[in-house]
Amino acid sequence: GDADPEIVALEAKLAALKRAKAAAAEGKSAEGTEAVVPNGAAFRDALLLSLGDRKVSAAQLQSFFVSHRKCTAAEAIADVGAIAAAIDKRAEEEAAKQAESSGAEASAGKPAKDSAEPAEGSSGGGSHQMGGKAVAASDGKAVHVHIHTASP
């Protein structure tokens, strides 16, 4: 069946929150006290918890992975909050840019074109081709991650 991407994303977030609360109730971290192999599910859960209501793009995830390419999986999972911090920083920069352009707009008397708007002829939403697969643009927070390790 066709699952609504927003419902799937909310269910994933709810499951991550339940696991985190259960682990906290037992007095241990979300990863547990024993050594747990970091995997895609652990990254997904950490990412969903740190994002809150923020939306993350494929480009933002790629930037995170590129900047953490020499880290271990455990280190990348531990620093997953950097994604939310980058989203917040970008939002602040955009707000400052908007305030600047609206001030310049008032003095110049002509409207400034918003750089965030898609160019004519380009699609502003929908799906984009990426690596041969169609990726939905901001349709939810479903995260699909593959972590490859050196040892089997």
Q: pLDDT tens digit string along 58-92?
A: 999 999 999 999 998 889 989 999 999 999 999 99
Q: Which two tokens stand for residue 94?
A: 């955009």
Entry pTM = 0.51
Q: How far is CA 22 from the centre of its chain?
A: 24
Q: Are 80 and 47 in contact (CB under 8 A)?
A: yes
Q: pLDDT tens digit string along 93-148?
A: 999 999 888 877 666 555 544 444 444 444 444 444 344 444 444 456 667 777 77
Phi first, then psi, for residue 123 (nearest 5°) are -85, 135
Q: pLDDT tens digit string along 30-68?
A: 444 444 568 888 888 889 889 888 888 999 999 999 999
Q: How far is CA 145 from the centre of its chain?
A: 12
| Buried/exposed 98-128: b ≥16 CB within 10 Å, e otherwise | eeebeeeeeeeeeeeeeeeeeeeeeeeeeee
Q: What one-character DSSP code corresponds to residue 29?
A: -
